[in-house]
Each structure stands twice: as C-alpha cells, then as structure tokens.
Amino acid sequence: MGLVKLLRNAEVFSPEPVGKKDILIVGNQIAVVESDIVVNVPDLEVIDASGLIAVPGFIDTHVHFLGGGGEGGFSTRTAELDPRDCIVNGVTTLVGCLGTDGVTRSLDSLYAKAKALEEFGLTTFIYTGSYRVPPVTFTGSIQRDIVLIDKVIGVGEIAISDHRSSQPTYEEILRIVADARVGGMLSGKPGIVNFHVGAGRKGIEYLFKIVEETEIPITHLYPTHMSRSKRLFEEGLRFCELGGMVDVTALQPFEREEDFSPVDALIMAYENGLIGAVTISSDGQGSLPVFDDMGNMVGFKVGSVGALLHTVKLAVEKGLPIWQVLKTVTINSAKVLKLKRKGKIEKGYDADIILMEDFHVKWVISRGKPLMVEGNVVEPFRVM
C-alpha cells in the first residue's frame, strides 16, 4: 500500500461521535477528517469503510510482554505476548511490565520484547521495576532509567496491599514516587508509578497519604486492579475526585461477571461523572491465580489483551454510550501516559485506527500501516 490512504464513509468515533466521515492518512499521521474528501495523488489507496465504525487504536496500559505468573512454581509461568493477539483485538499501543517475578524475568528482556513488538508495527513502552521494593532497575536508579532509556516511562507494577508484595513502608513508596516524578520532569515523560493494588484492607491508603501530605501531584500515582471489589473502587472514585486517574482490569472472555465486575465499575464511574478519570487495561499474558485461605495457589488462567474489546462490548451492551466507554481505552489512557498524538481520530494524531462491524475487528491501521486487512492479519506485519 502507498503512503497516502483514504478511508471512505466510516462512522467515526474520535472517541466522541463525529458522524460519517472520510479519513485521509498521509504517512503515519491523520491529515484530514471530513466529509467527501477529494484528493488526487499518485498511488492513493482507497479503503471502503461503509457500514463500519472507525475508532482510535486501543491503548493498553498494563501488559506482561514476557508473560507473568510463577506463583505456583516454574511450571506456572505464562507465555510471552504474541503480536497477533494485539492486532486481532485492535490494540495498537501498549505498556509492558514485570509482575511478581523480577528474578527469572528481566528488564533487559522486557526492553527487547518491546522493541520486537514495535518492529511488528505496534507502539510500545515499558515500566522499570516489578512488584518488589526496592525496585529492580536497568541503571541502579529509577530517575536514570526514566531519563536515559527511551522506552521507560515510569515505574511498575509496584505491589501494595497484597500478600505477594514486599510489604513496603510508606516512606519507601514515597521515595519511589518522588524519583519517578523528577525522572519524568527531566525527560518530558509521564513519570508515573503503576501500583498493583491487592485485596488487602489498606487499599490505596498510602496514595491518599501522599496526596494529603506532600507536594507531589496526584497525576504521578496510577493504581490498577481497582475493580477488585466495590469497596476498593469506591476508594478509587474518591481518588478520581481529587484529580487522580485509576485503572480497571478488564474482564477476560473466559471470566464470569462476579458480584462486582469491571463493567459495574464503569457504570459507577459514568453515573458519578468520573468516567473521564478511568482507564481499562488487560493485564494481558499475566496469570490470573486463585489462592486458598492460606495463600497457596490452587489454579490459574492466562489473561489476554482481547479483554479490552470484550469489556468495551459488554459495557455498551449494558447501556453505556459507546463513545464514553471508548474513552477508557483511548484518550483517557493517552492522558495518563502523556501521549499527545494518541487516542483520537483527529488531524495531526497518529494514524492508529480500528474499523469494526458489531465489535468484530475488520481493519487495524497502526501508525499508518495496515496490520489487519478485511479480517486477515498481514503477514509478517510489513507495509503492504
């Protein structure tokens, strides 16, 4: 395919609904979004999007590129991320992290995997650190990692309120956040700390304390797994009211909706006027372990990045406006990550576009390159 592409007659959600429009892509950017675009250039590729909706490529802020798990021994480690899983589910931008295991999985390998996914046409970033405090780093310093390593945008996932955490003190958490902030300031990156929030009774108590007692902006605190319970999500909404943003872990296609599900969390956020402060991430390739009362792992399943699309679909079926739900996987995520050219279908933004029919992905364009064409993944993800 050529460098100039014209998507005709798509029903565009930017994520806000803008109606039936044409979208002109030049190189890796969106050049024009208007009705009945007329353009005369050599090698123009026209894509008929009639009957399809166009939405921004999904942004997944929490993915285990290298796999996760291991809480039940070596045989419970999960597999690496396959880029095809991202493409067929419309995920074009993603952030990789280590989890419980910062021993047999390394930041070096995480960086290499991020680079590999980028070569397949996706946009990738990573967090330095893992569950453990003090965090594992590339350079021995959180600040140096964020400033000097291109892919590193923050720290994560640091575990709090969880039996698998290193039981960090408030002072240890505060120092991590302070270092991330300054690293972000020096590098022009978000400098966020992605917190794995477990089922412990303290919830996000430390994060509220940081907001109340220090000068550090709340925007550097980014807790995930916040739909673990209604009580925890209510804490999350209070956090959002203070100006923060929280992340909900998507419902996997194989999971049943529990007493309080990620979709329930989205409904609560919408009804409270706070859906603009909520993101959804997949925890893709992470293990979803089941523990008994003594903390022994008795089983697990593996998360998929497809959970984003699945959860969006369920939320719309429950009655939420599609454009409000789409915010949680597009522009809200771009805001947290300070990605100024991601998350919208608008002039000057990266050409990350999904064309869908009834939530079935038909086309995926990432940075102007088609990665899926008429329901078929482009092999081997090269420019056509």
- In order of 122, 188, 321, 347, the CA distances from 341 in angstroms are 14, 14, 24, 10
Cα(348)–Cα(172) distance, integer angstroms: 41
Neighbours of 75 (CB within 10 A): 7
Amino acid identity, residue 174? L
231 annotated as ligand-binding: no
C-beta of residue 247 within 8 angstroms of C-beta of residue 280: yes
Burial of 199 (0-12, 13-18, 19+ CB in 10 A): middle
Pairwise CA distance, residues 9 & 278, whole Å: 31
286 annotated ligand-binding residue: no
Catalytic residue among 22, 283, 350, 352: 283
Confirm or deny that 164 is annotated as ligand binding.
Answer: yes
Separation CA 41–CA 43 (nearest Å): 6
**Which pairs count as long-range contacts for 256-262, CB under 8 Å and 24+ apart, including other chains?**
257/314, 259/230, 260/227, 260/229, 260/230, 260/233, 261/227, 262/227, 262/311
3-class DSSP state of 361? strand
Is 201 annotated as a binding-site member? no
Residue written as tokens 């999500």? 233
- Is 62 known to sit in a ligand binding site? yes
Pairing of strands 45-48, 4-13: parallel
* 131 in a known ligand binding site: yes
Pair of tokens at residue 8 = 């005709």
> Looking at beta carbons, which pairs linking 321-324 to residues 24 or more positions away fall under 8 Å?
322/13, 323/13, 323/15, 323/16, 323/17, 324/270, 324/275
DSSP 100: S
Q: Is 283 a catalytic residue?
A: yes
Q: Is 348 left (phi over 0), alpha (psi -120 to 50) or beta?
A: left
Task: Report d(CA 325, CA 308) in Å as an integer.
Answer: 11
77 carries a ligand binding annotation: no
Residue 71 annotated as part of some ligand binding site: yes
Which residues contribute to the annotated binding site for substrate?
69-71, 100, 131, 164, 228, 287
- Output the known binding site: 62, 64, 69-71, 100, 131, 164, 196, 225, 228, 283, 287
Catalytic annotation, residues: 283
Q: Which residues are annotated as a binding site for Zn(2+)?
A: 62, 64, 196, 225, 283
